[in-house]
Structure 1
Amino acid sequence: MELPLIPPMLATPGTLPPAAQDARWAYETKQDGQRVMVYLPGDGSVLLRARSGQDITAAYPELRPLGTVLGTTPAVLDGEVLALDADGRADFQLLQSRMGLAHAPVRAAERAARVPVHLVLFDLLHLGSRPLLSLPYTRRRGRLEELELAGPAWSTPTALVGHGERALLATREHGLEGLVCKRLDSMYEPGVRSRAWIKIRNMRSEDVVIGGWLPGRGRLTGLPGAVLAGQRAAGRLRYVGGVGTGWSEAERTELARLLRAARTDVCPFDPVPAVPDAHWVVPRLVGEVRFSTRTREGMLRQPSWLRLRPDLAPAESAADIPDDLV
C-alpha cells in the first residue's frame, strides 16, 4: 500500500523532568547515529529515509531483510542507525564511513562487510491500514514491542518508565551520549521539536592548552573566531580541535587581547595540524572546554568553551589525551 511520508518528531534540549512527575515519563538511551524513518510497504521491500527526507536505503544493504519480517502488514517505524565499536557502543565516526553511500550501492555493500550497522527502533507510527500518530506514546510503544522486532541487524531496546535519575546516571557510567525523556501521554508530532520529548546530552569537561587561533569573520572581524586547543601526549602538545563557541562578547574581546600578547611564528603543536589561516601563540593559556566525546584519534567532538583557567599553568594542567588514543 502507499504509506504516508512522516517527518520525524524531534526532542527539545532540556533537563530531567521534576521528581514529582517522574512516573509520567519514559526514558530511552540517546543514540549517536543517523535518524531514520523506516517504511515497510508489505511487499517484502524496505525504504529508509533520513531526517531530511532523502532516500538512504541503498547505504545500508544489511537492513533489507527487515522488509519481510511483518509479512504483508505495512508499517512505518522510527529509529536510529548505529555503527558499534568493539565495546558495543555507538561510534558516530565509524558510521560516517557508511553515510553518504546511498547513490553508490557497490561501495555501500563493500563497506557493510567491514563496518556493519545496527538499527534500533523506538516508535511505531503506522500499522496495517491504521495511522497511530494520535495514540499516546505508551500505546504506540506497546504495539511496537508486540511486534518483537529483533533480528541480526535490528532490535527494539527497552524503555524505562520512571527512575529518570537512575537512567541518566547509567548513561554516564557507560559512556553513552545521553538520554531522551518522553512523556507517556504524548502524541507523535511529525516534524515538530516538541517539549513532550526532552533530550539530555552527556557532556564532559577537560582542560586544554591554547596553541593558536583562527580569525573571526563578519561581526567577529578582529576577534578570534575559534581557538586551537591541545593536550599533552607522550611529552608533546597534540592538537585536539578548534573551539568556536561558548564565549560572551566580553570574554571573546579579553581573549583576543591575551592571544595577541602571546603570538609567535612557531607552531606549538607536534605534529603541526593542517589548519588553514591559523595564528600560533606561545602555549601558556589554559582553558576548560566541554565536549561530547572523542574520536578514535583523540579529537574532541562538539567542543564549546567554558572558561579560562588562570590558576593553571600548562605544565600543571591535567589535560592528557587517554593513553589508548595516543
Structure 2
Amino acid sequence: MDLPLIEPMLATPGSLPPAAQDARWAYETKQDGQRAVVYLEGDGRLRLRARSGEDITGAYPELAALGGALGDTAAVLDGEVLVLDADGRADFQSLQSRMGLAHAPGRAARRAAETPVHLVLFDVLHLEGRPLLREAYQERRRRLEGLGLAGPYWSTPAALVGHGERALRATREHGLEGLVCKRLDSVYRPGVRSRSWIKIRNTLGVDVVVGGWQPGRGRLTGLPGSLLLGQFDGAGRLRYVGHVGTGWSEAERRELAALMGSYATAVCPFDPVPAVAGVHWVLPRLVGEVRYSTRTRLGQLRQPSWLRLRQDLTPEESSALLPGAPDGQRPG
C-alpha cells in the first residue's frame, strides 16, 4: 500500500486551558526526543520520517519489529523516539548518539545494542486505507489505543482527559519535561503549529556567573550575542555550564556590554577551559539568573533563557546550594 506522507502537527507554547474548559482537553506528557511519523506498510516493513521529512529508519534498527505488529494492517502513526534513563525519564543527550546514523547501519546496530531507544506513540493519522486527519482527536486516540501497540521498544502511553492541574503537577514532581494539552475535538493539521495543541515546558531557574561573551552579528556587532555561563563547584573552580543568547531587551544587552567591558581579561576564568571559539573573557564578577529546561549528565544547561542581572548577589553567593535543590537549581 502507498501510504501518504504526512507532516507532523505542532503544538503552540502556552499555559493550561481555563478550569471551566478543562474537561474538553486531554493531557499527555511532553517528551524530550526526536519526533517521528511512523509508516507501517502492512507487509512487515517499517519507515520512520523525522519532522524534516528525512528518512531515519536506519538509525533505529531495534524498532524494525514494529513493522509487523499490526499484521497486514497498514497505518501511519505519530510519535517520539526517546532514550530512557534508569528512572524512566527521557535522556536527550544519550539520544544524540543515536541520531544521524540512518546511513551507517553498522554503527546504528552497535549503538542499538548499547543504548536502545523507545518509541512512544500518541496519534494515528491513517488506518486501513482510510485517512483520519479530519477525525477528532478523541476518536483518533480511541483508535490508537485499540491497536494495542506495546512491545519491547515501543508503547502507547495513556492520555488523561481533564485534571490538567494534576497532570502538570505530576510532570514537575517526576522531573519530566512538561505537558501537551490537546483539545478533544481537534482535527490533525499536518505541518501546522496549532492552538488546539498547547505545550507547557517545565523550566528551572538558576543563578550563574558570567565568564565571557561571544560577539553578535549584523545589528548586534560589537554587542554580546551570547554569554558564557558558569557555576562554582565545591573546590572553588568556575565550571562552564553553557551559554545563553536569548531573553534580553536591547537596553539590557547594552548594559551588559558596558559592564563586561570593565571586567575584560585575557585569562579564561573557567576550569577547564570550554571548547568555544571567538570568546571575550571577563572576570567572574557578574551574576545573572536564567531559566532552562533540563541539565545534561555533565551539568550543562539545556535551552537557557536570560531573566535578569543579579546585582544583589556576589559570585560566591550565587553558587550556594539551596535547601533540597541539588547543584543550585530551583523550580521555576
**TM-score bucket (shorter structure):** over 0.9
CA distance in 2, matches of 1:99, 1:132: 29
What corresponds to 2:234 in structure 1? 234
CA distance in 2, matches of 1:146, 1:277: 55
What corresponds to 1:295 in structure 2? 296
Deviation at 1:318, TM superposition (A): 3.6
Alignment of 1:104-253 (within 5 A): 104-235=104-235, 236-253=237-254
Contact 2:60/2:112 (8 A) holds in 1: yes
Percent identity of equivalent pairs: 77
CA distance in 2, matches of 1:124, 1:64: 18
Contact 1:27/1:160 (8 A) holds in 2: yes
One-letter amino acid of the counterpart of residue 126, structure 1: H
What corresponds to 2:67 in structure 1? 67
Partner-residue secondary structure (3-state), 1:171: helix
What corresponds to 1:254 in structure 2? 255
CA deviation vs aligned residue, 1:65-108 (integer Å, no higher than 9, x gap): 00111111111100000001121110111000000000001110
Partner-residue secondary structure (3-state), 2:109: helix
What corresponds to 1:308 in structure 2? 309
Contact 1:207/1:319 (8 A) holds in 2: no
Partner-residue secondary structure (3-state), 2:318: coil
Partner-residue secondary structure (3-state), 1:312: coil
One-letter amino acid of the counterpart of residue 90, structure 1: A
One-letter amino acid of the counterpart of residue 56, structure 1: I
CA distance in 1, matches of 2:269, 2:41: 58
Alignment of 1:37-56 (within 5 A): 37-56=37-56
CA distance in 2, matches of 1:100, 1:269: 31
What corresponds to 1:286 in structure 2? 287
CA distance in 2, matches of 1:319, 1:148: 49
CA distance in 2, matches of 1:271, 1:241: 13
What corresponds to 2:268 in structure 1? 267
One-letter amino acid of the counterpart of residue 100, structure 2: G
Q: TM-score, normalised by structure 2?
A: 0.95
One-letter amino acid of the counterpart of residue 9, structure 2: M
RMSD between aligned residues: 1.1
Contact 1:31/1:178 (8 A) holds in 2: yes
Deviation at 1:221, TM superposition (A): 0.7
CA distance in 1, matches of 2:249, 2:2: 51
CA distance in 1, matches of 2:267, 2:52: 44
Alignment of 1:26-37 (within 5 A): 26-37=26-37
Unaligned runs of 5+ in 2: 328-332
CA separation of 1:319/1:272 partners in 2, compared to 1, >3 Å: closer, same or farther?
A: farther
Q: TM-score, normalised by structure 1?
A: 0.97
One-letter amino acid of the counterpart of residue 51, structure 2: R
CA deviation vs aligned residue, 1:243-264 (integer Å, no higher than 9, x gap): 1111000000011010001111
CA distance in 1, matches of 2:109, 2:298: 26
Contact 1:206/1:319 (8 A) holds in 2: no
Contact 1:208/1:319 (8 A) holds in 2: no
CA distance in 1, matches of 2:221, 2:272: 29
One-letter amino acid of the counterpart of residue 98, structure 2: R
One-letter amino acid of the counterpart of residue 53, structure 1: G
CA separation of 1:23/1:56 partners in 2, compared to 1, >3 Å: closer, same or farther?
A: same
Partner-residue secondary structure (3-state), 1:257: helix
Partner-residue secondary structure (3-state), 1:242: strand
CA distance in 2, matches of 1:192, 1:273: 38
CA distance in 1, matches of 2:319, 2:299: 15
Partner-residue secondary structure (3-state), 2:100: coil
CA distance in 1, matches of 2:326, 2:106: 37
CA distance in 2, matches of 1:301, 1:46: 32
- The count of aligned residue pairs is 323
One-letter amino acid of the counterpart of residue 130, structure 2: R
Contact 2:232/2:316 (8 A) holds in 1: no
CA distance in 2, matches of 1:319, 1:165: 32
CA distance in 2, matches of 1:57, 1:317: 45
Deviation at 1:319, TM superposition (A): 5.5
One-letter amino acid of the counterpart of residue 13, structure 2: P
Q: Does 1:7 align with 2:11?
A: no
CA separation of 1:17/1:100 partners in 2, compared to 1, >3 Å: closer, same or farther?
A: same
Partner-residue secondary structure (3-state), 1:167: helix
CA distance in 1, matches of 2:217, 2:2: 48
CA distance in 1, matches of 2:326, 2:114: 26
One-letter amino acid of the counterpart of residue 255, structure 2: E
What corresponds to 2:330 in structure 1? none
Deviation at 1:215, TM superposition (A): 1.3
One-letter amino acid of the counterpart of residue 214, structure 2: L
